[in-house]
A and B are shown apart, each in its own frame.
Chain A
């Protein structure tokens, strides 16, 4: 074994420097300029120091460096806790580790830390391109470890050139390839938690949640936020997924750009005239801190939790904002009727449209009113329209002043809030009282803990229309968008019309986007739910975590076994082909009941075979000839020749043993 205190050679140090550089580069997109400059300066300084063969860095210099880092970080971020300051700290520390790297031991420490830093970059960017790019860093890392292995001095003293690193590079890629199936096993089978583990405190600082206004884009932030909104434990079995509409603020007032909540006072007992069918469902909600007063309950809450009020729009409001985890009990009736008669005030408010906005939509609503007369038919017509020509996308094009007109007659691309808003505007124009309801839809049922997890990404907006004699009815126009028409996110329509390569570029863009989408859906968003439905194609709806663990153990053992077998086989074949051929010969002889002793030389073995012959005469002669050939190759010359080995191996593999009788 080589000494861990051995001083690094120039080529080793260069490689470590490259590893550190790669790890830091992965963070550059989000590092502030000052820190980037500092880190690169450190790397350059280390390289110069090593070139000049300077002595170890004195202790006070290291302390000074750390102090400088702390100052710069605090000046930049006002904190060292969180994702951004944390990664900046890691980069700075890594670069300064390079500055004091002199020996093999230092180099290993630097490599370990570089791998951590490299991985932490994935907290910022999980796109396919970035992930692939980070693999370059991983390959460099493995190459560096390979170069640090003890090797002959002649090898270690080679000049620093790209070519001289090729063998180690190739070896590291091979080991990466061997590890890939195992990594895949781990990825698929290690039991997942229902929310990511590695959210750093900084994320929690800017809390997201449903607000009481809605203007284009407001829900979008939520839809990309994977953090939990609340968790629900049901008294009985949870209701159907399609019934899981968690009612939040109801938005009635529209000024042309923004939807707002309307203070309606407290719900009155006579509002809810009847509940039909099933009884009430009881459940307990644990709400994450949101800094907002909204409580969420299944459509439609019949009980009011302690410390909360129920508005006349049937939304629950707490008396003060939820600043920490808040738990409440509620009961809901899924099949409900309320507000069977509408107060004049409310009727006015739910029919109001701002003057001078969205003329075409208003016109459309009026046309429908005149042509179809019937409320049901109008609602159907609107939903039909969404179903046929609209796309669902999280990156819709920008809308102008008449946002609903632009959406309905222009872009036809959007997500829930666009659909809800457009639908309500159309309804109001057609004289049907309507309003927007915000909240959450669905959730992920965690069978292990027997609770439903609702994430911010489950945020939703839908519409409610009022029908005489029936009261408020929930309509979800987003659901009307044909599932096949969910768009891949390509912003095709924003392209200029003039360029001749438009269509080609569009196609390429769509393909790239498709790849990204597949990456996102298959890899990045592979969550507990997806994992548990792994065996769905085989008729098993969910896998228990224990089963997953067994699968993991089984699959990894299998992979390791295959890899080990392969590695041993190729190593044997490559390192000692003569040994392999001789072993094959001995194995063949062992099969007919004449095994070779471990410490039995070829001569002894051959004469034993001859004195107690288990073989037919013809075979015995051939076997003796093979032994003579082997001895000649292995011992009668300093090194066996390649052709000789090949010939011997061929003869051994051709040998068919016949026993006496």
Chain B
């Protein structure tokens, strides 16, 4: 319904094949990850906006499945890094090894050199290993032994972390959390989805059968389209009002940074594209806001609200037209 309304206002700038391919991709992931349409959409938005995704939830709710399904559907090369306490930075980035034949060191790329990297249980590794990943995420390149190695494009990190089992973990500092464009939770599936899950075949088999729905050029074209999605003056006003509200809120100690603002706008653009629109609406901003803002806000000591609650409260408190 909303799409039809939007269509009457301005035509989508996407060409139909691309739209169809994107729709098919989202649908395919939804076939694997059951009952999580909103989160899947956010994950796609994150990928299209060129950000990295943090999935925070209990084990066994489908974090890894989502990452696998995304990789298979987007036609990306996939690598999984299981973060543990003894993981070294070079285990991730790769290492230079002396080749006797050549008489020189040769760089052997680590698992980071994949288009979609699943960093599982990122909070189990030491800060040293974590920061190796986070640097690579920010720079899209790896530097070892004085050599800089570009990472493949698109480069999309999906990290997971378990918020419950905190023994022997190194929680990511707030400043590092900022590197993730979106943070989503998956939560338990609803009754219907869970039944489908229980009765259907094994997810791993399903993923193995998945065919890519988007190729590299299409992904690049989609990312281009995100950059071209229109954010009107009125929409930017709204984004700014939200940012200002987060900075002047009694219950929030540290509000959203300008980087968070950029991420918000970018993710909203990607979300608009997923809605089939060539321009952003406040609804797009609202749809991505909690995932963008919650892990970046630092609540005031006196506030009893969780970060998610604070982000939702901001949304209801800031008027929009």
Question: Could you list which residues of chain A lie within 8 angstroms of chain B, going by C-beta atoms?
Answer: 579, 582-583, 597-604, 606-607, 610-611, 624-625, 627-629, 631-632, 634-640
Contact A599 B315 (CB under 8 A): yes
**In the bound complex, CA of A629 to CA of B233 (Å):** 17
Q: Contact partner of A637 among B1, B232, B316, B321, CB < 8 A? A: B232
Contact A636 B320 (CB under 8 A): no
Contact A599 B317 (CB under 8 A): yes
B282 in contact (CB, < 8 A): yes
Contact B232 A639 (CB under 8 A): yes
Could you say which residues of chain A place their CB within 8 Å of the CB of B215?
A: none
Could you say which residues of chain A place their CB within 8 Å of the CB of B2?
A: 603, 606-607
Q: Which chain B residue has the least Cβ–Cβ distance from A604?
A: B283
Could you say which residues of chain B place their CB within 8 Å of the CB of A600?
A: 320
Could you say which residues of chain B place their CB within 8 Å of the CB of A634?
A: 232, 234, 321
Given A599-B318, A639-B233, 16 new contacts (CB under 8 A): A582-B321, A599-B316, A599-B320, A601-B282, A603-B6, A603-B283, A604-B283, A611-B1, A628-B9, A631-B9, A635-B9, A635-B282, A636-B10, A637-B279, A638-B230, A638-B233
Could you say which residues of chain B place their CB within 8 Å of the CB of A583?
A: 321
Contact A635 B315 (CB under 8 A): no
Q: Which 9 A-B pairs have the closest CB atoms?
A: A632-B9, A601-B282, A636-B10, A598-B319, A601-B283, A628-B8, A636-B279, A603-B283, A634-B234
**In the bound complex, CA of A640 to CA of B234 (Å):** 9
Contact B319 A599 (CB under 8 A): yes
Q: Which chain A residue has the least Cβ–Cβ distance from B272?
A: A635
A149 to chain B, nearest CB (A): 21
Q: Which chain B residue has the least Cβ–Cβ distance from A610?
A: B1
Contact A636 B9 (CB under 8 A): yes
Contact with A along B77-114 (1 / 0, CB 8 A): 00000000000000000000000000000000000000
**In the bound complex, CA of A202 to CA of B286 (Å):** 72
Which B residues, 169 to 213, have Cβ-Cβ distances below 8 Å to chain A? none
**In the bound complex, CA of A583 to CA of B235 (Å):** 17
Which B residues, 43 to 63, have Cβ-Cβ distances below 8 Å to chain A? none
Contact B286 A601 (CB under 8 A): yes
Could you say which residues of chain A place their CB within 8 Å of the CB of B281?
A: 601-603, 631, 635
Which B residues, 278 to 303, have Cβ-Cβ distances below 8 Å to chain A? 278-283, 286
Q: Which chain B residue has the least Cβ–Cβ distance from A634?
A: B234
Could you say which residues of chain A place their CB within 8 Å of the CB of B167?
A: none
Q: Contact partner of A607 among B1, B315, B317, CB < 8 A? A: B1
Could you say which residues of chain B place their CB within 8 Å of the CB of A582?
A: 321
Contact with A along B221-233 (1 / 0, CB 8 A): 0000000001011
**In the bound complex, CA of A569 to CA of B318 (Å):** 22
A607 to chain B, nearest CB (A): 5
A-B contact pairs, 20 of them (CB 8 A): A599-B316, A599-B317, A601-B282, A602-B321, A603-B283, A606-B2, A610-B1, A611-B1, A625-B8, A632-B9, A634-B232, A634-B321, A635-B230, A635-B279, A635-B281, A635-B282, A636-B230, A636-B278, A637-B279, A639-B232
Could you say which residues of chain B place their CB within 8 Å of the CB of A606?
A: 2, 5
Q: Which chain A residue has the least Cβ–Cβ distance from B316?
A: A599
A637 to chain B, nearest CB (A): 6
Could you say which residues of chain B place their CB within 8 Å of the CB of A624?
A: 5
**In the bound complex, CA of A602 to CA of B235 (Å):** 12
Could you say which residues of chain A place their CB within 8 Å of the CB of B8?
A: 625, 628, 632
B139 to chain A, nearest CB (A): 32
**In the bound complex, CA of A296 to CA of B124 (Å):** 106
**In the bound complex, CA of A343 to CA of B279 (Å):** 114
Q: Which chain B residue has the least Cβ–Cβ distance from A611?
A: B1
B272 to chain A, nearest CB (A): 9
Contact with A along B143-179 (1 / 0, CB 8 A): 0000000000000000000000000000000000000
A581 to chain B, nearest CB (A): 10
**In the bound complex, CA of A629 to CA of B318 (Å):** 23
Contact A635 B321 (CB under 8 A): no
Interface centre among B5, B10, B278, B316 (most CB of A within 10 A): B5
B273 to chain A, nearest CB (A): 14
Could you say which residues of chain B place their CB within 8 Å of the CB of A627?
A: 5
A510 to chain B, nearest CB (A): 62
**In the bound complex, CA of A602 to CA of B279 (Å):** 14
Could you say which residues of chain B place their CB within 8 Å of the CB of A601?
A: 281-283, 286, 320
| With A601-B281, A638-B230: A631-B6 Cβ-Cβ less than 8 Å | yes
Could you say which residues of chain B place their CB within 8 Å of the CB of A631?
A: 5-6, 9, 281
| With A601-B283, A603-B283, A607-B1: A635-B319 Cβ-Cβ less than 8 Å | no
**In the bound complex, CA of A631 to CA of B6 (Å):** 8
**In the bound complex, CA of A493 to CA of B309 (Å):** 90
A126 to chain B, nearest CB (A): 51
Contact A632 B10 (CB under 8 A): yes
Contact A635 B235 (CB under 8 A): yes
Contact A636 B317 (CB under 8 A): no
Q: Which chain A residue has the least Cβ–Cβ distance from B314?
A: A599
**In the bound complex, CA of A597 to CA of B280 (Å):** 20
**In the bound complex, CA of A607 to CA of B6 (Å):** 11
B310 to chain A, nearest CB (A): 15
B17 to chain A, nearest CB (A): 23
Could you say which residues of chain A place their CB within 8 Å of the CB of B315?
A: 599
**In the bound complex, CA of A600 to CA of B316 (Å):** 8
B314 to chain A, nearest CB (A): 9
**In the bound complex, CA of A583 to CA of B320 (Å):** 11
Could you say which residues of chain A place their CB within 8 Å of the CB of B234?
A: 634-635, 640
A212 to chain B, nearest CB (A): 78
A357 to chain B, nearest CB (A): 90
| With A601-B282, A607-B2: A579-B230 Cβ-Cβ less than 8 Å | no
B30 to chain A, nearest CB (A): 21
Contact A635 B316 (CB under 8 A): no
B198 to chain A, nearest CB (A): 32
**In the bound complex, CA of A634 to CA of B279 (Å):** 10
Q: Which chain B residue has the least Cβ–Cβ distance from A637?
A: B232
Could you say which residues of chain A place their CB within 8 Å of the CB of B318?
A: 599
Could you say which residues of chain A place their CB within 8 Å of the CB of B232?
A: 634-639
**In the bound complex, CA of A601 to CA of B318 (Å):** 11
Q: Which chain B residue has the least Cβ–Cβ distance from A600?
A: B320
B309 to chain A, nearest CB (A): 15
**In the bound complex, CA of A611 to CA of B279 (Å):** 24
Q: Contact partner of B5 among A579, A597, A599, A607, CB < 8 A? A: A607
**In the bound complex, CA of A606 to CA of B3 (Å):** 12
Could you say which residues of chain B place their CB within 8 Å of the CB of A629?
A: 9
**In the bound complex, CA of A631 to CA of B317 (Å):** 22
Q: Which chain B residue has the least Cβ–Cβ distance from A627?
A: B5
Could you say which residues of chain A place their CB within 8 Å of the CB of B280?
A: 635
**In the bound complex, CA of A478 to CA of B257 (Å):** 86
Contact B282 A602 (CB under 8 A): yes
**In the bound complex, CA of A570 to CA of B279 (Å):** 31
**In the bound complex, CA of A213 to CA of B134 (Å):** 106
Could you say which residues of chain A place their CB within 8 Å of the CB of B320?
A: 598-601
